[in-house]
Amino acid sequence: MTSEAVHHQLSFFAALYKVDENPEPGMWLLYLTIVVLSVIVYRLGFARKLPVLKSAVIYVLLLLGCTLLTFFAIFLPVGESLCLAAVVLGVYKIRLYQHKKTEKKERFPM
């Protein structure tokens, strides 16, 4: 397979970071992108108030899981899916906040 053929099969973030040309810095940037997006999605959709030690365990396991996701993200749209999930969960949180705010105003008018 030629270098150009591989480049056309890369996902958006892998192509953006030029993983095929500069593998070491490209993979680190891809890993950091996956970690940041995973933390955002976790915080927006699944995070609860937990003790510090339990939160630390969850984030360590998240970092380990992101290692595997990074290898998948070279050719599959993992980063793009995490971006989409972050946007959807962000819109959901905003709408939920607005709904609770209007509901509170209806219950307790000033």
Whole-structure pTM value: 0.85
**pLDDT in 10s for each residue of the chain, 110 residues:** 566 666 678 999 999 999 989 999 999 999 999 999 999 999 999 888 999 999 999 999 999 999 999 999 999 999 999 999 999 999 999 999 999 888 887 777 76
Residue 73 buriedness (CB in 10 A; 0-12 / 13-18 / 19+): buried
CA dist 35 and 10 (Å) reads: 19
Q: What is the dihedral of CA 36, 75, 13, 6, to 10 degrees?
A: 150
CA dist., res. 28 & res. 88, Å (int): 26
